């Protein structure tokens, strides 16, 4: 979908998912391999020319104060064959990253923007919902985050 927008400098290199090689069963992606590196998001796109930013301003996601900025977008894709309301998983590092990239209502504070693309009803009338600035949506009650895992750290006690 992003490729169809004709964004300058948008290539497969921005697809930084460590499991992207799974699509190589499709003829158009036979040559693609898993991305190697520390994964920060499924797609990382630096909008050098401001094209995506202008589209997001036009769609009402960003204010006009962003017009002269060229942010880096960290796009997480969460897909399901089920409905939009189906819960999806986020790692602790994803939650921390989205909190660190919160967008200020008054204008740019950081040059990084985190968003979640929720693909739903995959293969049966596929839909897309963009959750722009999920940290703000969490604090506004539009997204509900529930922790379902514990991190356990052993404590060492010295005994004699």
CB distance 133 to 73 below 8 Å:
no
| Distance separating alpha carbons of residues 17 and 125, to the nearest angstrom | 25
DSSP 106: T
Domain boundaries, the chain: 3-139
pLDDT by residue (tens digit) across 104-116? 766 667 789 999 9
| Mean predicted lDDT score pLDDT of the chain | 88
Query: Is 70 exceeded by the pLDDT of residue 140?
Result: yes
pLDDT by residue (tens digit) across 7-26? 888 988 898 988 888 888 98
| Distance separating alpha carbons of residues 76 and 94, to the nearest angstrom | 9
pTM over 0.75: yes
**Confidence (pLDDT) at 160:** 60
**Confidence (pLDDT) at 88:** 92
pLDDT by residue (tens digit) across 38-67? 889 999 999 999 999 999 999 988 888 888
**Confidence (pLDDT) at 126:** 92
């Amino acid at each position: 979908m992003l490729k169809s927008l004709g964004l300058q400098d948008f290539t497969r290199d921005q697809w930084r998912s460590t499991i992207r090689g799974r699509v190589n069963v499709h003829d158009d992606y036979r040559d693609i391999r898993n991305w190697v590196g520390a994964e920060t998001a499924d797609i990382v796109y630096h909008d050098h020319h401001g094209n995506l930013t202008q589209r997001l301003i036009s769609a009402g996601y960003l204010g006009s104060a962003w017009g002269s900025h060229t942010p880096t977008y960290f796009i997480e894709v969460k897909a399901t064959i089920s409905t939009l309301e189906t819960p999806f998983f986020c790692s602790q590092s994803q939650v921390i990253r989205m909190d660190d990239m919160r967008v200020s209502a008054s204008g740019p504070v950081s040059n990084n923007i985190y968003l979640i693309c929720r693909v739903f009803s995959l293969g049966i009338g596929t839909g897309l919902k963009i959750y722009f600035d999920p940290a703000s949506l969490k604090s506004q009650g539009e997204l509900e985050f529930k922790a379902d895992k514990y991190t356990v750290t052993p404590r060492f006690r010295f005994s004699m």
